[in-house]
Amino acid sequence: MSDDGSEAIGEFLQGEHEPASSWVVLAFGLVTALVLLVLHSILYPGRELPVIAEILPVFEGVFDSGIWFFILGVMLGGFAIIATMLTEATSE
């Protein structure tokens, strides 16, 4: 294959089909993240997670009831509706 051929395409192509095994990559990423968290607790027992441990106290006293999990779901639903409106309106 010549170099001229690859330059001639020159545009972005997005596949329409999803390979069946693509979820393995996502699952592998998730497992890796969990493993790293466990590894952190083993290597640095008693030490809090960097960054996250500093952010969480901000919300102390706010999300102190189970209702907030449900309200979070409502907010996700609301954002999903807004996002759908925006993306549907701006898509080709």
Partner 1 sequence: MDEVLTTMAVFWALMLLTYFLMQNGLSIFNDVAKSMGMFMLEKALGPAIDLVEGRPGSASKAWFMQGLLWLLVASTLTFEGLWLMHEPAALHSLSAWGYNPTSDSLLYAGNYAVLYGGIGMLLIGAGLHILPRLARTELASEKNAVLVSFLWTLSVMVLVIGAHDSVVLGVDIIFLGTAMHVLAFFAVVINQLLTVSKRQGALAIPGWLIIFGLLADPVATAATFISGSIETGVGQWLLGHMVGGTFFFASAAGVALYAASSATGNPLWSKSLAAAVLVGSMATINPMGEIDGRMAADMLGLSLGDFQFTTEDNLVAAFLMALATIPIMALAANVLITLRGGDAFVENPDSAGTAELNLGASMLLPLAIGSMFIQSDAFAASPELSGLAPSLMLIGIWLVFVPISLGAALHLFPAVTGRHLLSRNRARWAFWMMGGGAFLGLTVTMMADMIDMALIEATVGDPSSLAGELRVVGAVLFYGTVVGAVLHTLNAVSGLFRGTRVDSERETSSSLSPESYSLASPTSVRRILASGANLETTVVPVGESDDAGSATEL
**Least distance from partner 1 to the Cβ atom of residue 18, Å:** 18
Comparing CA positions, the residue from 81, 60, 79 lying closest to residue 71 is: 79
Q: Does 55 bind partner 1 (CB under 8 A)?
A: no
Query: Of 44 and 70, which CB lies nearer to partner 1 in the complex structure?
Result: 70
Query: Of 1 and 89, which CB lies nearer to partner 1 in the complex structure?
Result: 89
Query: Of 7 and 60, which CB lies nearer to partner 1 in the complex structure?
Result: 60
Instruction: Look up residue 28 and give its two tokens.
Output: 């592998």
Torsion sign over Cα 30, 34, 39, 40: positive
Tell me whether residue 9 is exposed, middle or buried, using C-beta atoms within 10 angstroms of its C-beta: 0 to 12, 13 to 18, 19 or more.
Answer: exposed
**Least distance from partner 1 to the Cβ atom of residue 14, Å:** 17
Q: Which residues bind partner 1 (CB under 8 A)?
A: 61-67, 70-71, 73-74, 77-78, 80-81, 84-85, 88-89, 91
